[in-house]
Structure 1
C-alpha cells in the first residue's frame, strides 16, 4: 500500500496542479475569478473590523500577502490530508477536492456581477486536480490499482509471504515420499488415484496465498514512478501559474499605460515654495515618491483595467446620466493639485500618509454635467473590484481640488494606485473618498445606501483629523549629548496646519519651525533644535490647525473615524 507520506505528497502536488490550472483559466476569464482570490475576498469581507485593524497594524501593506499565504497554507494542509485518505479509496480524494470546489464556486459567485462563466476556473481546476491525484496514486502502485479498490494491506502481504515461503514439511514432505502407483494407501486405505486427487486439492489450497502475494506485488509501492510523476506535476503547476498570470493582463495593461500621453493641465498647481522641504536626513520629503506611497485597499489582486475599454458611469439622483471613456476624460480640462492622502487605519505616528502632485478632471465639473438633484448628499463610488465608498456631495462641490485623477507626480497613474482613474478628495480619509480603479458613481443619499466600511463599524463620513508625527529621531534611538534636531510632518487637510509644538519630558511646549506649503491640502514639515542631556527622555508633539483646533492628548484607536493623541517617542542620550 502507498505510505502516508507518499499520499500526502501526491495530494500536495495534485492541489498545486489544480490551482495552477485554475490560475490559467482565470487568466482567460478574469484574474478575480481565481478561487484563492475569491476565497480571500470573502474572508476579507467577513473578517470583523478589529481583526482587520490588527492585520493592518501588524503586517502593514503586506496584510494581503499574509492573507493569501494563509489561504494557501490551509489549502496545502487539506490537500495533503486528501491525498492520505485517497490511498485507500480514490473516491475520498474526489470528494475532498469537490468540497473545496464548492467553496471556491460559492466564493466566486459572491462577487459583484458574477456570471456562470466565472466559476469555470474553479471547476476546471478541481477536475484536473482530481485526475492528477488519481494518476499519481496509480503510478505509485505500479498502475495496477483500480479506482475505489483499497488493495491488500501491508499486513496481508506479509501474511501471504509467510504462508507461501514456509509450507509445512508434513504436507510437502509426506506427499513427496508417498509411493505413486496402483492399490490403496497404507495410511488412508484409499486408492492411489483417490489419494492423488486429494493431494491435488491440498496443493491448490496451499498455492492460493501465492496468488494473493502476486496480486500484492503488482500493487507494491513504486517510489521512483511516484517521484517522477510528482516532478511532472510540479512543472505543470508552475507553468500553468506563470502563463495564467501573464494572461491575466498585467503586461497588456502596463503596455497600455506606457502608451498614454498625458495632456498639459488647464489649471497648474501652485509652485512648491522653496522652503517646503527642509531636507533633513530621515524627514519625510514633501513629495512622496510613487514607489514609496502607502497602499491600503481591499484588492487581493490589483485590478488590471484596460484604458481602452474603461468607462465611468455617473447616475442616480441626476438629471442626465453621464458615461465617460478614458479618451473623453483626457479631452476635458485637467487640473493639477498637491494633495496629501491619509488612511483612517493610521495609528498616531503611523506611516499611512503621503503627499503627491495629482492630475485629473474636477469631480464637480463631471457632476455638474450630470445635473445633481437637490436632495442628493452622497456619492457612492464603485471600484472595478467591487469595493464601494461613500463621499459627501457637499465636500466635493465646495471648490476644493477633488479629482478623478489620471496621473501622479508627473507620470500616468501607477496600476497599484488606481490606473486608469481614481478619486482624490482633500480633507477626507481614503475609505470615504479615494476609490481606486473607479468605474461607477451613483449619486444617492446616506439614508438610502451604505458603502463597504460603514456596516463594518466605521463612520459614514470621514473628515481627516489634525495629526502630527515625529520622523527624527526614531523611538528607541541612542543619541549623543548636545544639539539634536527633532523634525517631522503635520497635516490637517483641507484646513491647513498653523502651528506645531514640541515638548521634552513633559516640560513647557516650544514652537517648532514650520516649512512653507503651497496650500492647505498638503502636510507640513516642521523642526526644532534640542540641547540633549544624558539620560532617557520622552518627546511629544502636537499640532494646531488653521481653524484653531489643537490635537487632544487623549488617545483613541483608528476605529470608527480616525485615531487621536499626541505622538510620543522615547530616546536615550549618552
Structure 2
C-alpha cells in the first residue's frame, strides 16, 4: 500500500478501534473458557495494582473509593483504545505497523498473565487468540475499504487504427472512427480514469486535477496496441479515489457485533450466573452457637446516622480483585498445611457440617481515613477458625497464618489472635444469607480486632501455618505493617461536614469502634470548648461499633465539631493526625457547619 493511502485518517482510526474491540471480545470469550482472570485486560490491571507505588494506591482509594477498580480497568481500556486508533491510522500506509503494534500489545498481555501468582501456560491462550484475531480484523477491514471499494467499467475494444504516421495520429482520430473512441473515453461526471501502467502518462493529460477532459480530446501518446483499448473507468463512491465508505462501515458494524457477542458470551462462560445460582441454592444450617440478641437500644434511629447493622448492599468493599473470583462451592476446598502435625483439607460440605457460630462483628479497612466510610457492621455465620486449626495440630513456634484467596491474594494473620477465644470465623453467611460473591462467597475470614488486610481474606482457599520471620503477605513488602490491630476511632455522621443548620436545638451523632476491646465513652466539643459526654447506644459485645449522640443548642455562625472515643481499656484516641499507612489512621474527626 502506498504512503498516499486513499483511506482517510478517521477511517483508519475507526478500523483500529474496531479491530482492538474484536481482539478484546474474542479474548474475553476464550477467557470465559480458560478462566476469567486470564483476560489480558484484567491481568494488566492486576500487574498495574502490584506495581503502583503506595501513595498512588492511597490516592486512588481516597479519590474513587470502592470504584477504584472500575476506574483502573477503564483507564487500561482507554489506553488500549488510543493505541488501537493510532495503529489503525498508521496501517493506512503500512499494514505491517499495525500488525507489529498488535504483537507488542500481545507481548505485554502475555507478560502480565504469566506474572500472576497462579499462572499456568494455558493462561496465555486468550491473549494470543485475541491478538491474532484483532490483527486479522485490521487486515480485513482495510481490505474492505480498498480492494473492492469502487465499481470498474470494463475496457471496450476500439477499431484498429488506420495506417498513418504516428505524427498524424491526432488528426486521424479527429475525423475517423477513433474520434468516437476518444469521445467514449471521456469519463462521465463522477468517474475517474484508472492509472494503468500502460497509459499512465496519457491518463495524466486526459484527467487533469479537476477531473475534466477537453471536449473531443483523444488519448494521445498511446501505442498501436494501447490504442486498441479504452482506459478502464472507476466510479468513486463519493469519497477519495479508492475509498468505499459503505463497504467499510458494514465491515465495522460486523466487527462491533463480533466484539459484543464475545464479551457477553465470555462473561456468561466465566461462571457468574452459575455461581450466583449455586449461592442462591445454599441451605444454611442453624448455628450451634447463636449470636446474642441485638439490644433494643443498639440503634438510636437518628436520620443520617449509620444503622447498627450495615445492609449487605451498602457494606464497603476494598480488595485487590479487579474481577471478582467466581468460586463454585462444589469445587471449593480449604487446605491447611505448613507447621502442623496433620494437614487438613475441607470441602464446602465439610465446613457446613461443623458446629457453626453466629457473631456480630464490625470490620474496618486499614485504608480508612479518619472519619472515612470503610467500616461496617454485620452478623456473620461460620466455623470457628480455632476449632478447624486445632484439627491440624499447630506447632508451638508457629505465629502466622498465611491465607491465600482464590485469585492469589495473600494475608498474614497472627496465630495468637485467632486462638485467644474471640469469634474468628471461616464465615459462610452475612446478615442471614450466604455470603455475597463480592464479599467472599463461598468462604471468607472474619477476625474481630484486626484490620482487614491482615485478617479478612475473601474467597479463602489455603492456609499455610508459618512464621512472620519466614513469610510475607501481599501488603507487607508494600510498606504496611505485618500486624494490624484496629485503633480506637470515632466518626461524626450528622451533621455532615459543610452542612447548614438552623439555630436552636439539634443532635450531633455518629459511631465509634474499638474491636475487640469495646467503646466505653465518647466525647464531643464545639469550637475547641469543653468536652461533653455523649450518650451511648447499647451493644451486644465488644466486637461491634457503637452509636452515640449528644444534644447541641446551635448558635448562628460557623462552628467546628470534634469527637473522640475512649475504649474499655481506658485508652483515649489521640489527636495526632496520621495517614493510614503503615498501620491505620489516627486523629480526631471533625466537621464544620454553618448555622443561620
Alignment of 1:113-124 (within 5 A): 113-124=118-129
Counterpart selection for 1:291 from 313, 332, 337: 313
* Deviation (angstroms), 1:271: 1.2
Q: In structure 2, list runs of 5 or more residues that go unmatched.
A: 1-5, 151-193
Gaps of 5+ in 1: 146-154, 176-198
Structure-2 separation of matches of 1:423 and 1:339:
12
Match of 2:379, SS state, is strand
Match of 2:49 in 1: 44
CA displacement 1:103-122 (0-9 Å, x = unmatched) = 11111111123112111111
- The answer for the alignment partner of 2:206 in structure 1 is 164
Query: How much has 1:404 moved relative to structure 2?
Result: 0.3
Q: Distance in 1 between matches of 2:82 and 2:132?
A: 19
Alignment counterpart, residue 140 of structure 1, candidates 138, 145, 155: 145
Q: Report the counterpart of residue 178 of structure 1 in structure 2.
A: none
- 1:156-200 residue CA offsets vs partner (Å, 9 max, x unmatched): 99998642326999xx7898xxxxxxxxxxxxxxxxxxxxxxx76
Distance 2:524 2:589 in 1: 10
Contact 2:149 2:244 in 1 (8 A): no
Cα distance in 1 for residues equivalent to 2:249 and 2:543: 62
Would the alpha carbon gap of residues 417 and 165 (structure 1) be closer, same or farther in structure 2, given more than 3 Å must change?
same
Corresponding residue for residue 68 of structure 1: 73
Q: 2:337 aligns with which of 304, 312, 315?
A: 315
SS at match of 1:358: strand
The alignment status of 1:90 with 2:95, answered yes or no, reads yes
Aligned position for 1:335:
357
Question: In the TM superposition, what whole-angstrom CA distance separates every residue of 1:188-219 from its partner, at most 9, and x where no partner exists?
Answer: xxxxxxxxxxx7649959999x6799999997
Matched, 1:2 2:7: yes
Deviation of the 1:91 alpha carbon: 1.5
* Superposed CA offset, 1:309-328 (max 9, x none): 10000000000000000000
Evaluate the alpha carbon distance shift between residue 92 and residue 207 of structure 1 in structure 2; reply closer, same or farther with a 3 A threshold: farther
Tell me the equivalent position of 2:304: 282
Deviations 1:371-430 (A, max 9, x none): 000110000000000000100000000000000000000100110000000000000000
Cα distance in 1 for partners of 2:88, 2:228 equals 37
Q: Which residue of 2 aligns with 1:325?
A: 347
The match for 1:459 is 481
Q: 1:359 aligns with which of 381, 394, 409?
A: 381
1:11 shift after superposition: 0.5
Residue in 2 aligned with 1:265?
Answer: 287
Deviation at 1:353, TM superposition (A): 0.2
Question: What TM-score results when the alignment is normalised by the length of structure 1?
Answer: 0.90
For each residue in 1:244-302, what CA deviation from the matched residue of structure 2 results, as whole angstroms up to 9, or x when unmatched?
A: 10111000001111111000101011111111100111100000000000000000000
Alignment of 1:64-463 (within 5 A): 64-143=69-148, 162-165=204-207, 201=223, 220-463=242-485
Deviations 1:9-41 (A, max 9, x none): 000001001100100001111000000000000
Distance 1:401 1:165, change over 3 A: same
Give the distance between the partners of 1:174 and 1:304, measured in 2 at CA. 72
**Partner secondary structure for residue 481 of structure 2:** coil
Shift of 1:98: 1.1
Residues 67-101 of structure 1, C-alpha deviations (whole Å, 9 max, x = no match): 00000000000000111111112221111111111
| Counterpart selection for 2:538 from 516, 519, 527 | 516
**How many residues are treated as equivalent by the alignment?**
541
CA distance in 2, matches of 1:468, 1:206: 96
- TM-align CA RMSD: 2.6
CA distance, structure 1, for counterparts of residue 554 and residue 213 of structure 2: 97
Number of the residue aligned with 1:560: 582
Alpha-carbon distance between aligned partners in 1 of 2:81 and 2:479, rounded to the nearest angstrom: 34
Q: In structure 2, the residue corresponding to 1:275 is in which secondary structure?
A: helix
Name the CA distance, whole Å, in 2 between partners of 1:223 and 1:369.
71
Give the secondary-structure state (helix, strand or coil) at the position aligned to 1:541: strand
- Of 514, 519, 537, which residue of structure 2 is paired with 1:492? 514
**Length-normalised TM-score, structure 2:** 0.87
Aligned match for 1:20, one of 22, 25, 31 = 25
Contact 1:142 1:219 in 2 (8 A): no
Return the alpha-carbon distance in structure 2 between the equivalents of residues 143 and 394 of structure 1.
75
Q: Secondary structure at 2:550's aligned position in 1?
A: strand
